[in-house]
Structure formats: structure tokens, C-alpha cells
Amino acid sequence: MSNQSANDNVIALLEAKLLGNVIHNNRAYARIEGIVRPEHFSDPVHGKILSAISALTGAGCVADIPALHSIFEKSNVLDEVGGAAYLYQLPVEGAAHSETVKLARQVRSVWAVSRLADLGQELVSLGSEATQGAFHSKLHDFSEVEQHVDYMCKRVSGLLEKVRSLPPALGNVP
């Protein structure tokens, strides 16, 4: 298995855990709807599931597996993952609100890093052949994602400092 496919599997599992948690505890959706959107999911199927959860909860309905199953069994949206039965396979990991928020932030962070890499490649490919307007447009997109990445880096640095301050037996981080 290549590193890329291993990474894709980890990301897919992270997204599936988030969806499983929200389906298991619909009240958690209110805590994550401002953090993650369907387009932040690397797997478009997961984005469509989140859209359905959003529509159901927005209408005051319960977004549980039977409700979602009835939505997706009538379409072919989930065919590539085994049909609507896929919903029953979504894992639930610590369905507490705090765990769900943490998963949502991780999904968004993965999206931001991926988007930043894509924008960097686009800027390089634009090079000298780009019009000034197209170049500035890409720089604007880049700066929006950069703000999120900067926030992530500060959080990671803070966590590393906390780990480094642990007694040597607990925190052997260079």
C-alpha cells in the first residue's frame, strides 16, 4: 500500500467517525456546522451524507440511520460504497460533543492543508503566463487558507511545548 492510499484511508476513517458521531448524537451537529462543510470532506460521498444530515436537522427532523437510509436508498449516491447499507458501517468514536468537535476540526484541517497544497501548485503553474487578475485571485484564496493553517501551527506548537514541559519519563519529545 502506498503512503498516499494509506493517508486516504486514514482521512476516510476520520470523516466516517465524524459522520457516525453526528448521526449517533444529532445535537452535536449544531456544534460542528460552523466548523466543517460538505466541501471539506475528501470523499464526496461523506459530503453528501453531511448535506443530508444538515437538511434533516434543519427541518427539525432526526438525522438517524433509518431516516438517512430512506433518503439514500432511493438514489445511487451511495452505490460506490455499497449503497445505503454503508450508513450502518459508520463508526462511532466517543460521541461526546467535545470529541465530535475535535473530529470536525481535524477534517477541516486536512482540507485546509490539501487546499493550500493545491493552491501552491496552481500559483506555480500560473507563473509568468498568468494575467495579473488571475494571479491576485489565487493569492486571495491562498491567504484565506493560510490563516487557518497558521492557527493550526500555533495550536500544534503550544501542544508540543506542553509535552516538552512534562517530566522526562512522560514526554520524550525532541
Let me know: does 41 contact 8? Beta carbons within 8 Å. no
Predicted confidence (pLDDT) at residue 51 exceeds the cutoff of 90: yes
Q: How far apart are the first and last CA of the chain?
A: 30
pLDDT tens readout for residues 52-81: 999 999 999 999 999 999 988 888 888 888
The backbone torsions φ and ψ at residue 115, rounded to the nearest 5 degrees and listed phi first, read -65, -40
Q: Using pLDDT thresholds of 50, 70 and 90, give the confidence band for residue 94.
A: low
Alpha-carbon span 78 to 73, nearest angstrom? 8
Cα gap 110→149, rounded to integer Å: 10
Q: How far apart are CA 84 and CA 100, in angstroms?
A: 23
Architecture of the domain defined by 3-164: Orthogonal Bundle (1.10)
Q: Which of 123, 103, 113 is nearest to 24 (CA)?
A: 103
CB neighbour list of residue 168: distance below 8 Å, 6 or more residues apart: none
Q: Give the burial class of 58: count Cβ atoms within 10 A of its Cβ; 0-12 exposed, 13-18 middle, 19 or more buried.
A: exposed
Listed range (23-27, 141-145, 155-159, 168-172) with the worst mean pLDDT: 168-172
Quick: pLDDT tens for 1-33: 556 677 788 898 999 999 999 999 899 999 999
Torsion 30-31-34-37 (CA) sign: negative
Q: Provide the 3-class DSSP secondary structure of residue 159.
A: helix
Q: Please work out, in degrees rounded to the nearest 5, the angle formed at the alpha carbon of residue 127 by the alpha carbons of 124 and 133.
A: 110
pTM attached to this predicted model = 0.70
User: Within a 10 A sphere around the Cβ of 119, how many other Cβ atoms?
Assistant: 19
Per domain, the residue ranges of the chain are 3-164
Predicted confidence at residue 147, as pLDDT, reads 67
- Mean pLDDT over the full length of the chain: 79
105-125 residue pLDDT tens: 999 999 988 888 887 777 666
